[in-house]
Each structure stands twice: as structure tokens, then as C-alpha cells.
Amino acid sequence: MKEFKILITPRPFFTKGGDIIRRLKEKGYSVVINDTGKRLTSELLEYQLQDVDAVLTGNDHLSAELLTKAPRLKVISKYGVGLDNIDLNFCNSHGILVKKAIGANAISVAEMAILLMMIGARRIIQLTWSVETGESKRIVGQELFGKTLGIIGYGSIGKIVSKYAQGLGMNVLVNDPYIKSYNPNENTIKLVRREDIFKMSDVISLHMPLTHGTRGLIDQKSFKLLKPDAVLINTARAEIVNEKDLYDWLNSNEQAFAAEDVELNKRHEKIRQLNNYLITPHAASFTEEADRKTMIISVKNITDYFDNEGKDKT
């Protein structure tokens, strides 16, 4: 087999993926791994890409300008599922296959979404702030049992969130433009219009990729339809929710609550100071189990390509 060179940038491979890297080398691959302990700079990334056949990337910004520096590149494998950091138009026009680790982190993200729902329903942030100020204020929350959960985006993560929510006794509404019907065994969920999700749900959970069509999807019009004490959960991407409209909704309605697991630099300090808002640093998929599954799947996406001599273009 011709020796193919793979650049692997996600940091978990250096600390936890030694056996996977070893097997790649045993199969005849040349492997360059990020051992810096931090994200690669754009300059170093450009240098490393010059002679690679494949790149396994995390959140590196693979712009068209950068990808032009990689003339041998045949396949990009995402360590995760969001592809908004990769110029897909460039890849499509230059025959570069882009794959993602579908389902690898679905359980971890779904569990985080449920956790954030509970934090919102029981007003944990307000309770914590009360203790820190010495008030010991017993704030009344709500049970999730019997409440209605609206899920926007019914892919691998959304389906698991639905399952967990039903286990908690919640009613589940779903909106996804790619789903026209659902499994009859899932007769406790209901497909509805997006507007009905906002109007009827006590909790809304977002599970869609960031695309041109979803950027700013949740805006002022959406917030006007929500119940006064609604809980909004976003474990997808910050850009899906209009920040100004989110701030205005929370700032004018102390009974509302929003929790987001997104990149911190995507949210202004002003909104992060609200006591009915919680942000975590896009860490929902950061579990030992998800790390391992994502490493295995993202590497397999590359080896499958070369094992098939590049014939897989789907």
C-alpha cells in the first residue's frame, strides 16, 4: 500500500489515543499528531497541511485559503459532527471528501441537554447565587414531569433527548424539516410546525447544525411566542440564536431561563452576567466515552477511504 500521510489535530489523540495511532502506523500510515497541548496556530496548520493526504480536524478553521495550501489533500474527517469550520464549497469543487463522526457524542450531548433542563427547571443558578450572597433563599422551581419539551432538530442527538425526556414523563414535540413522518413505535412524540414548538413548549432544546439556513433561526419573533417561564437549551451552536434577541428576552423576563453549551467567545460578557442565563464552554461532548468513540469513528472514516482507494465519494 502506498504510504498516506495523515495530520491529526485534536488534542485527545496525543493524551488518550496512543493505541489508535500505533495501529495506524502498523497499517503503513504516516501520522503527524498535534502534541502541543493546544490548538495549532494557523501558521503551523498551514505548514503541516502542505504534504498530507488526509486531515483529522477538530475546530480548526479550514478556510478555502488554507486548503489551497494542501494540494495532496483527499479527505477531511471531523472529530465531531459540526462542519461549520470547514469550507465545504471548496471541498466539493476540489474533490475533497468530508466525513463526520456521526453518533459518536450523541449520548454525551443528550445527557448534557437533560442536565441543563433540570438546572433551568429547578432554578439552580438562582439558588447558587442566593447561597453565595448568604441569603439562603428557597426559590420555587418546577418539575419536568408532565411538561412539554419541544425539540428542534431530530437527528441522532435529538432522538436520544426525546427518549430521556419521555423517561422523565415529558410530552415531546418535534420539528425537523427533513422528517416527514416518524416511527410508529415513537407514538408519544408529535411532529409540529416550528411556531407550535415555541407556543406550546415549556422547554425547547436545539439540536441542528449551523448552516446558512439555521444562522439566527431563533430570533425576536421566536421569543415573542414563548411562554413567560420557558426554558431554552442550546447545545448546538451560538450563532443559531440571535444574541441580542436572547439578551432582551432574558433581561425583560426574569422567569425565563436559557442555558447554552457554546464557544464562550460567541457570547458577550453582558449576557453572561444575567442570573437567568448559564453558559458552558462547548463541552457537552467532553466525556471519556465520547472521546473514545469519536476517535475510533473519525479515524475509521479516513482508513475506509484509503482502503477503498478513494472510491467512496458519498
Contact 70, 50 (CB under 8 A): yes
Q: What is the DSSP code (8-state) at residue 96?
A: -
Residues 307 and 24: beta-carbon distance below 8 Å = no
> What positions carry a catalytic annotation?
237, 263, 282
Cell numbers representing residue 87 in the block: 469550507
242-262 residues labelled b (16+ CB within 10 A) or e (exposed): bbebbbebbeebeebbbbbbb
> Can you tell me whether residue 264 is helix, strand or coil?
helix
Q: What is the rounded distance in angstroms from the CA atom of residue 144 to the CA atom of residue 125?
A: 17
Cell of 226: 414563548
30 bridge partner residues: 5
- Residue whose C-alpha cell is 496525543: 14
Q: Are 42 and 62 in contact (CB under 8 A)?
A: no
Strand partners of residue 174: 151, 191
